[in-house]
Amino acid sequence: MSQKLSNKVAVVTGGTSGIGLAIAKRFAQEGAKVAVTGRNQKSIDQAVAEIGANGLGIQGDVSSLADLTRIYQTVADHFGKVDTLVVNAGVYILGPLADFTEDQFDQVSDINFKGAFFSVQKALPVLNDGASVVLISSTVNAKGVPNHAAYSATKAAVRSLARSFSAELLDRKIRVNALTPGPVDTPVFATVAGSPEGAAAMKEAMGNFTPVKRVAEASELAAAALYLASDDSSFMLGAELLLDGGVREL
Ligand code: NAD
């Protein structure tokens, strides 16, 4: 590995699974100290074991401002600063407009939108000037997909936050960008489908939506996150990096 993040400190919210875990592992391989957050202590312990000696696990819910404040205080106590923040924690709650409940709406907005907003706000005291913030959006943020209305709107909000935060944090040279994936092979397929067979069918169906006829590997997202986190992307701010297998052409 190139050690592009040596002497850097990264925080990855929802870094215990899927895209977030792949990013955390890649950042650690590149020399960063990496704090991952998640809700479940067992998953946090497993993730830290995979990340290795540079890993730190912190339990907390991104929709709780008190948890976020405690998370960043813990990172500051351990590592003293944050150079890169990846706002990745998210949930994929889908359903038809006619049946979507207020509880589903509140959950998806509290975690994906409010959680993203305050994950950045509460990090401000520990973020270094010149830090890079990566917000994980989704290609559906700019599409009309049945049953996705609330989820897609939260991801459009995240895309918008990257622009606004970047403009506002310019004086501290903090860059904020959105990383926008199409379908990615993560445990979320099993969560949504409810069975391994359902997950396999969902993966195939989502892959078939893309011109390249496959979903992305989480490691491909980690490579893009590394670019955004490192100085290689120093002229990129308030922007969006699409990793969508060409799906935008459809
Ligand atoms: P995943 O379910 O494997 O991982 C989600 C992570 O977020 C887990 O670590 C989970 O514990 C954490 N999380 C969820 N709610 C939380 C909360 N309230 N507080 C703290 N942590 C919480 O899912 P994934 O597929 O790796 O998704 C990661 C991100 O990528 C999400 O924001 C998702 O919307 C986005 N995304 C995923 C895909 C895809 O196809 N997998 C596509 C586009 C965007």
Residues 11-52 have pLDDT tens digits of 999 999 999 999 999 999 999 999 999 999 999 999 999 999
CATH number of domain containing 209? 3.40.50.720
Å from CA of 182 to ligand 1 middle = 13
Q: Which of 72, 92, 151, 227 is catalytic?
A: 151
- Asked whether residue 4 is assigned to any structural domain, the reply reads no
Segment among 33-37, 60-64, 201-205 with least mean pLDDT: 201-205
- Asked whether residue 228 is assigned to any structural domain, the reply reads yes
- Asked whether residue 249 is assigned to any structural domain, the reply reads no
Domain that holds residue 93: 9-243
Q: Which two tokens stand for residue 166?
A: 């970047």
Number of domains in the chain: 1
The amino acid present at 110, given as its one-letter code, is: D
Kindly write down the DSSP assignment for every residue of 88-125, as one continuous string.
Answer: ---------TTT--HHHHHHHHIIIIIHHHHHHHTTTT
- Asked whether residue 3 is assigned to any structural domain, the reply reads no
- The preferred substitution site among 23, 43, 61, 88 for testing ligand 1, maximizing ligand atoms within 8 Å of CB, is 88
- Asked whether residue 196 is assigned to any structural domain, the reply reads yes
- Cα(209)–Cα(140) distance, rounded to whole angstroms? 12
Is 227 catalytic? The answer is no
The beta strand positions in 3-53, using DSSP E, are 9-12, 33-38
Å from CA of 43 to ligand 1 middle = 13
The amino acid present at 20, given as its one-letter code, is: G
CA 46 to chain centre: 19
**Contacting residues for 33 by C-beta, under 8 A, at least 6 apart:** 8, 9, 10, 54, 56, 78, 79
The yes/no answer to whether this complex scores an ipTM above 0.85 is yes
Q: Whose CA is nearest to atom 16 of ligand 1?
A: 89
- Asked whether residue 1 is assigned to any structural domain, the reply reads no
Report pLDDT for 249: 56
- Asked whether residue 2 is assigned to any structural domain, the reply reads no
Å from CA of 246 to ligand 1 middle = 22
The amino acid present at 162, given as its one-letter code, is: A
- Asked whether residue 170 is assigned to any structural domain, the reply reads yes
Under a CB-based contact definition with an 8 Å cutoff, are residues 175 and 128 in contact?
no
